[in-house]
Amino acid sequence: MLTALILIPLFGALLVALAPVRFARLLSTVVTLAALVVSVVAAFRFNWSYPGSVSFQQSYTLVEQLGVRLSVGADSVSLLLILLTALLGPLCVVGSYTAITTRVRNYYAWLLVLQAAVTGVFAAQDLMLFYVFFEFTLIPLYVLISLYGSTNRRRAATKFFLYTFTGSVIALAGLVYVAYVGYERNLGWSWSIAELQSAAASMTRREQAWVMLAMLAGFAVKVPLFPVHTWLPLAHTEAPTAGSVVLAGVLLKLGTYAFYKFVLPFTPLAVMQYAPAIAVLAIIGIIYTGLICWAQNDVKKLVAYSSVSHLGFCVLGLFAVNMVGISGSILYMLNHGLSTGALFFCIGMLYERYHTRSMDEMGGLSTKMPVFAFFLVFFTMASVGLPGLNGFVSEFMCLLGAFQSGADGPGGVAFGSLGPWFAAVAATGMIVAAMYLLYMVGRVLFGPLREPAGHHEHEKLPTDLSWREIGVLTPIAVLCLVLGLYPKPVLQSLEEPVAMVIDEIRTVNQRAITEAEQAMLADPTQPQTPVVLATETTP
Amino acid sequence: MSDAMSHFLALTPMADVTLYHYLVVSAAMFALGLVGFVSRRNMIVMFLCTELMFQGAGLAMIAFGRRWMDHNGEVFVIFVLTIAAAEAALALALVVLLYRKKHSLDTEAWAQLRG
Amino acid sequence: MAGIIANLMSGLAPTLATAHGAAGHAVTNGAHEAAAAHAATPFEFITPDAGPGFALLILALPLLASVLCGVYAALGIKGKFPAWSTVVLLAGSFVATLMAAGTVFQSNAPLIVHGFDWISLKWGNVPGQSLTANFSLFLDQLTVLWMLFVTGLATLIALYASEYMAGDRGYARFFGFFALFVFMMSCLVMGDSLVLLYLGWEGVGLCSYLLIGFLYKKPSAVAAAKKAFIVNRIGDLGLALGLMLAFTQFGSLEYKEIFRQVAELQAGVAHGHEVPWSIRAIPLLLMVGAFGKSAQLPLYVWLPDAMEGPTPVSALIHAATMVTAGVYLIARFLPVFELNPAALNTVAWIGCLTAFFAATIGMATYDIKRVMAYSTVSQLGYMFLGLGVLSSAGAGNHVVTHAFFKATLFLACGAVMHGFAGQLDLRRLSGLWHMKGWKIVSASMLVGCLCLAGFPLSAGFFSKDMIIAESFVTEGFGGSLLGLLALLTAGLTAYYTFRVFFRVFVGPVEYHAGDEHHGDDAHDDGHGFHPHAPGWAINTVLVTLSAFALAASIPYLIMWFGASHDGWITGLVSHSTAKASNITVGVDHTATFLGANPHFIMYFVSGGIGIVGILVAWLLHFRGRTEAATSPGAEEAARAVGPILTWATNKWYVDEFYDFLLRKPLWFLAHVFYFIDALLVDGIVNLFGWMPRAIGGSLRPSQNGFLQSYAVGMTGGLALLLVIVWIVG
């Protein structure tokens, strides 16, 4: 099932590249729709009663001596992200119909390759396979940006590639070290993520800290976390619309997904110890980049920076290390993919008509484009975190998770090493978000009508949105509403996998504490390094 | 020369002309070729110098083959000679082409690889 | 319909009968009765029952109306369809509220109506190991009280708007947002968890944003909308944090669980237990949200600007309903607030100061709609004062009476605005009473003004007195200072209210048109401007509302003439969570004011002060006035107070202060950050990118292109290797 999901777009890409140009659009639409159908079928066949266990497992040995296997599978977290990817696929293709007029085959082929690669990342159950797909996503996106972007595209593409690549190479070192530890423990190479977990958790505190640092270097760039975020605004601004959508929608989630999949379970001791530091970075990102958004004149850059700000909430939720926080964070990945993806679509539609992204040159467009105005306001509100729309539930849960992290609640269940202050400071991000997004909406949509000098109507596109464009935005809007009002099924499917991760972290930490205590009892003369009591740290 | 080496050489079956002599000749050929290659600028002469170095190495191999009563050395040299012949053909063709471009065989005329 | 009302009445009767012991004010029997009323019994938790499903219609109908309007807008349907469908569906919602009220009155326990599951996460079976927030309704008397006037007023104002908004391009859009607002307000009031309350809270904020910015071509309207949303968000931050703290402390966000634990805590307090600070902090956070939404100091600044919205919006959202959400929040969580006397104290003082402060600005504002806006801020301050001194009944009474008379005032202002092409300056309008077709407007304005001014025996008079009197007897709040300030404010209120009335509605006839020409009919027919008197819909609504505003005082009059209860509103409030338990704050039963029981004497004192205020307004703005622009009395008074008038007219420069203190620095910081990001953060990255290039560049000369030098390099390298082997080997 999952193999098919990876192979359909991959072979589709081949087909699109080889077939005559006039079929490119049609073919790629059909291919992405087919992938969507397959993913929906997969969603139906998924074993929702045990969402934490890996379904659709398939495995082929690739390099026997090194234990590298082509192994795919999905638990509910992976499946949800795969669904998101599959959903954005056809929308990106359909959304690019009029925007891309040159080298069409090439464009769609690479777009399909990108989809295959991203699906592969989420489906991989083997560390090596994960890493290969993780890096492979760079190539199609590099091509898309450097060939189809706007004026500064070369620089943006190179920077994007080198920046993220440098980061992930360091992450690779960390991952290989984990595999090596596993090799020593199990006397054999294995890259299976599940098998490596227990081995990784047995690393010492110091080892874990280094491994976490290495992984952070790679994944934090991808998220992106302050201060390694600067490639993102550039890449987003220069990328073609579909590129931006995929970038914001799913590629950034690779970083947070990797946090969830590797950093949390592989280095539980280090996570508990350094979560406050990472949370501080996330919070700085939320407020700092939020304020930067406000200083933007380029509407696309504004949304790009807002991505950085938003993903700060996501990281905050993850490192709250409790049910509410992590579940909220995973939900946030989906929600951000939808609402920010949609915002990029909106801006792309605007750009196609006005060929500018500068807010100085446009204003009051709601008079001319009421339908567009509706969608922009809708997705802005989803992005601001208006209750009833999707952004709220996840943002609220991330903050709530951070808030109760480390507190003694009823039932003594609050776990983690953050605290109310983290949530309180991060929550000011909600005000900042309202400030910059309303600033954008106010300038673009409201006030007296203002259009760029020498503007004339697009020859193919109507003044307001065409049916095709409405068709692209409507599914996202519907999903935003559904996830905002009825997130229950998603949340319930997250209960089991998240609980498993948290149990793992809790067990390892408690074991470490017990061992330290025993060591202290056994040899009281030995000076002990101070033990961080994970469950009791309150900042 | 160390004692160990003389001892080793003394055991060779050819008492008169020892492996040592062959090696000295081959080293001399190689060194002459090297010096020529570095000091001369004419491409054809430089090419000839490389051939000289080649043959020096080849001689050493045959000598070793003889020493161990083993034909691998000869086989290898013949193989190398064949390759060298083909290579000479290519190289001389290239030299001719280069000469046609600049009417000079001086290597200094060709420094496009300067960084 | 008759059945519903009979049901309602039969339910109401026991409620009224048992309201006797509630916190409130007993007049005729003096201090003795007051003592009985303030017995400190801890808050009692009653396990809720399941409620009737039809209550969901109260929410569903406005939502349906909103969706319908969206469909009309999408299909481009012209005409008054949006208005009629909205009015009918809102009326349906009102009827459903009445029916729900009947059910609630017959039940001893609050009712919970389950809609559908919303947020649900569970990770254990111990309480606190789940996060649940459903779309469910919590129906008790307090909910019913709020919903009755929310849906009732919404219906009337929608009817008014059907005429007022006629001819506007965004007719369907307006009613869509309007109905959406009613839905969100219902969520806020009826939600059974703090999260649903938060949904409504933000939702009404959104609708307020959309409706203030309804005339989106006007930059001032867009700016006002943005300001409202952002200032509200600052308050919401407090609410959100309070909510999170509540979850951390109580392990749930549902009212039933929170109140169960609060009841235990209050019982603990009664036995002398300490309340941990982490719980005492909850009310402090919640009230920040209340201050934002209800426009209290220091977050009141958005409300006057919100007057950029169409007048029906101002009447419904920014006077009657949405701004009372803060009052609702505190009333709903009064048991929690009572755990922390400091929080109550803050609420009381903030309310009192806001009332006074806003009144001073109202006295010097020339835009009559903005006078009403400041008076709203001021009256909301009274409500907060009432809550702070634990007169939740007084606050509840004032919310309802204020809703009616303020809606009347706004709609009358709106009629003026509508008729005079947007003219709202009291210096450019005069003598409307004497003009043809403006009698109803003027009369309803008079009714509203009398209520607002606290003229004796009007509804506003009674409800305001309850609060002022209570502030003299409740202990621990800076003595009688609160009460005195509130009394002074009552005088100021009477003055600025009648300042508007005497300037605009009586006196010589004079008018200048404004610069807005909305509506379908041209006001300017080439011969100059003709005022456009309101039609039947506006007049009907005005008459109805004035009647309600007048009738609101009847229960108090009955009480005045010897009945033993405190009115039906008090009955409702004291049968809900808003009943004050006085567990932490005592009442000084022996307190006197001017030598008598404050509850009794206050009627005369505040009535007198109100009349004095009206007289001053008459002296300054009516006596001897011959033109609209100014009057001799006002000139003289302006000379007497000097620059203070200018300051007050400029709203004490609070907006400028905020701009200087918050917006400008943040704006500056944003740009600084942008530069830091581009130069420093990205600069370091680029530095790393530049380093390999620099290293390569420094080695570049070695690549000189000469064959020989490479050969020398190779030979040298080989020699070096040999030497190393020689040495090592």
Tens of pLDDT, residue by residue over C371-422, are: 989 999 999 999 999 888 888 888 888 888 888 888 889 888 888 888 888 7
Of the candidate ranges A163-172, B39-48, B79-88, C478-487, the one whose mean pLDDT is the lowest: C478-487
Structural domain includes residue B9:
no
Q: A354 at the C interface (CB within 8 A)?
A: no
Kindly state the tokens that stand for A514: 């017990």
The tally of domains found in chain B comes to 1
Q: Which helix (H) or strand (E) holds C145?
A: helix C141-164
Q: What is the pLDDT of residue A407?
A: 65
Contact residues, chain B, for C716 at CB < 8 Å:
none
HEC secondary structure over C180-226: HHHHHHHHHHHECEHHHHHHHHHHHHHHHHHHHCCCCCCHHHHHHHH
For residue C253, the chain A residue with the least C-alpha distance is A400
Q: Which of residues 151-180 of A touch C (CB under 8 A)?
A: 159, 162-163
Q: Which residues pair with C425 in a beta bridge?
A: C367
pTM: 0.85
Q: A407 at the C interface (CB within 8 A)?
A: yes
For residue A423, the chain C residue with the least C-alpha distance is C241
Q: A11 at the C interface (CB within 8 A)?
A: no
CA distance C667 to chain B (A): 49
Q: Which residues pair with A70 in a beta bridge?
A: A60
Q: What is the pLDDT of residue C123?
A: 81
Residue B50, pLDDT above cutoff 50:
yes
Q: Do C711 and B107 touch (CB under 8 A)?
A: no
Interchain CB contacts (distance < 8 Å): B and C: 32
Angle at CA C508, nearest 5°, toward C502 and C511? 90
Structure confidence by residue, pLDDT tens digits, A256-307: 999 999 998 888 888 888 888 999 999 999 999 999 988 888 899 999 999 9
ipTM of the modeled complex: 0.89
Q: A110 at the C interface (CB within 8 A)?
A: no
| Rounded Cα gap, residues A85 and C364, in angstroms | 60
CA distance C73 to chain A (A): 10
Torsion of CA A311, A317, A323, A324, to 10 degrees: -90
CA distance C677 to chain B (A): 35
Q: Do C251 and A410 touch (CB under 8 A)?
A: yes
Q: Do B38 and C704 touch (CB under 8 A)?
A: no
Q: Do B111 and C704 touch (CB under 8 A)?
A: yes
Which one-letter DSSP state was computed for residue C254?
B
CB A13 within 8 A of CB A36: no
Which one-letter DSSP state was computed for residue C474?
B
Residue C458, pLDDT above cutoff 80:
yes
Question: Tell me, what amino acid is at C22?
Answer: A
Residue A519 burial (C-beta neighbours within 10 Å; 0-12, 13-18, 19+)? middle
CA distance A36 to chain C (A): 27
Q: A413 at the C interface (CB within 8 A)?
A: yes
Q: Least CB-CB distance to C705: which of B34, B38, B111?
A: B111
Start-to-end CA distance of chain B, whole Å, equals 44
Which chains would you list as touching B if contact means 3+ CB atom pairs under 8 Å? C
Q: What is the pLDDT of residue C28?
A: 38
| Rounded Cα gap, residues A503 and B30, in angstroms | 71
CA distance C693 to chain B (A): 13
Q: Do B38 and C711 touch (CB under 8 A)?
A: yes
Contact residues, chain C, for B37 at CB < 8 Å:
708, 711
Structure confidence by residue, pLDDT tens digits, C83-137: 899 999 999 999 999 999 888 888 888 889 988 888 888 887 777 788 888 889 9
Q: Least CB-CB distance to C685: which of A163, A403, A410?
A: A163
Q: Do chains B and C touch (3 or more CB pairs under 8 A)?
A: yes
What's B86's domain CATH number? 1.10.287.3510
Residue A463: which residues within 8 A CB-CB, separation 6 or more? A353, A368, A369, A457
Q: Do C127 and A495 touch (CB under 8 A)?
A: no
Contact residues, chain C, for A418 at CB < 8 Å:
none
Q: A428 at the C interface (CB within 8 A)?
A: yes
Which one-letter DSSP state was computed for residue A225?
P
Structural domain includes residue B5:
no
Of the candidate ranges B4-13, B75-84, C634-643, the one whose mean pLDDT is the lowest: B4-13
For residue A498, the chain C residue with the least C-alpha distance is C123
Where would I find the H helices in A187-230?
Answer: 193-201, 205-222
Q: What is the pLDDT of residue C524?
A: 45
Torsion of CA A390, A396, A398, A400, to 10 degrees: -160
Q: Least CB-CB distance to C705: which of B34, B46, B114?
A: B114
- Spatial CA neighbour of B26 closest among B1, B62, B2, B76: B62
| Rounded Cα gap, residues A81 and A332, in angstroms | 11
In whole angstroms, what separates CA A348 from the centre of its chain? Answer: 20
Q: Residues of B near C (CB-CB distance < 8 A)? A: 34, 37-39, 41, 46, 107-108, 110-115
Kindly state the tokens that stand for C263: 């009841």
Q: What is the pLDDT of residue A40?
A: 93
Instruction: Count CB atoms within 10 A of the CB of residue C475.
Output: 14
Handedness of CA A502, A508, A514, A517 (dihedral sign): negative
Q: Least CB-CB distance to A434: which of C213, C233, C240?
A: C233
In whole angstroms, what separates CA C384 from the centre of its chain? Answer: 11
Per-residue pLDDT of chain A (539 residues; tens, 9 = 90+): 788 889 999 999 999 888 888 888 899 999 999 999 999 999 998 888 888 888 888 888 888 788 888 888 888 999 999 999 999 999 999 988 888 888 888 899 999 999 999 999 999 988 889 999 999 999 999 999 988 888 888 888 988 898 889 889 999 999 999 888 888 887 678 888 888 888 887 888 888 999 999 999 889 998 888 888 888 888 888 889 888 999 988 899 999 999 999 998 888 888 888 888 999 999 999 999 999 988 888 899 999 999 999 999 999 999 988 888 999 999 999 999 999 999 999 999 988 888 888 888 888 888 888 889 999 999 999 998 888 898 899 999 999 989 888 765 444 445 677 888 899 999 998 888 888 998 898 888 888 888 877 777 766 778 888 888 999 999 999 999 999 989 999 998 998 899 888 888 888 888 888 888 888 887 766 555 544 444 443 33
Q: Do B115 and C712 touch (CB under 8 A)?
A: no
Structural domain includes residue B37:
yes
Question: Tell me, what amino acid is at C587?
Answer: V
Contact residues, chain A, for C662 at CB < 8 Å:
none
Q: What is the pLDDT of residue A344?
A: 93
Decide which of C143 and A522 is more confident: C143
Q: Which helix (H) or strand (E) holds B29?
A: helix B19-39
Q: C237 at the A interface (CB within 8 A)?
A: yes
Q: Do C121 and A295 touch (CB under 8 A)?
A: no
CA distance A110 to chain C (A): 27
- Spatial CA neighbour of B81 closest among B51, B43, B46: B51
CB A406 within 8 A of CB A324: no
Residue C585, pLDDT above cutoff 70:
yes
Structural domain includes residue B111:
no
Q: C698 at the B interface (CB within 8 A)?
A: no
Residue C435 burial (C-beta neighbours within 10 Å; 0-12, 13-18, 19+)? middle
Q: A367 at the C interface (CB within 8 A)?
A: yes
Which chains would you list as touching A if contact means 3+ CB atom pairs under 8 Å? C
Domain boundaries of chain A, sorted by first residue: 2-522
Kindly state the tokens that stand for A234: 């550039």
Mutate to test the interface with C, among A380, A390, A435 (most CBs of C within 10 A): A435
Beta strands in A405-447 (DSSP E): none
CB C275 within 8 A of CB C268: yes
Residue A467 burial (C-beta neighbours within 10 Å; 0-12, 13-18, 19+)? exposed
Contact residues, chain B, for C704 at CB < 8 Å:
111, 114-115
**Half-sphere exposure in the Cβ direction for A23 (13 Å, CA):** 12
Q: C729 at the B interface (CB within 8 A)?
A: no
CB C518 within 8 A of CB C637: no
- Spatial CA neighbour of A324 closest among C199, C123, C254, C250: C123
In whole angstroms, what separates CA C652 from the centre of its chain? Answer: 22
Decide which of C583 and A229 is more confident: A229
Residue C62: which residues within 8 A CB-CB, separation 6 or more? C89, C90, C93, C154, C179, C180, C182, C183, C186
Decide which of B17 and A136 is more confident: A136
Structural domain includes residue B115:
no
Q: Do chains A and B touch (3 or more CB pairs under 8 A)?
A: no
Instruction: Count CB atoms within 10 A of the CB of residue A450.
Output: 14
CA distance C714 to chain B (A): 10
CA distance B80 to chain C (A): 21
Q: Do A400 and C219 touch (CB under 8 A)?
A: no
In whole angstroms, what separates CA C334 from the centre of its chain? Answer: 17
Q: C693 at the A interface (CB within 8 A)?
A: no
Q: Least CB-CB distance to C707: which of B34, B107, B115?
A: B107
- Spatial CA neighbour of C105 closest among C182, C29, C17: C17
Q: Do C707 and B46 touch (CB under 8 A)?
A: yes
For residue C718, the chain B residue with the least C-alpha distance is B34
| Rounded Cα gap, residues C385 and C393, in angstroms | 12
% chain C with pLDDT above 90: 16
| Rounded Cα gap, residues C293 and C228, in angstroms | 9
Range of the domain at B73: 14-106
Q: Least CB-CB distance to C119: which of A438, A491, A495?
A: A491
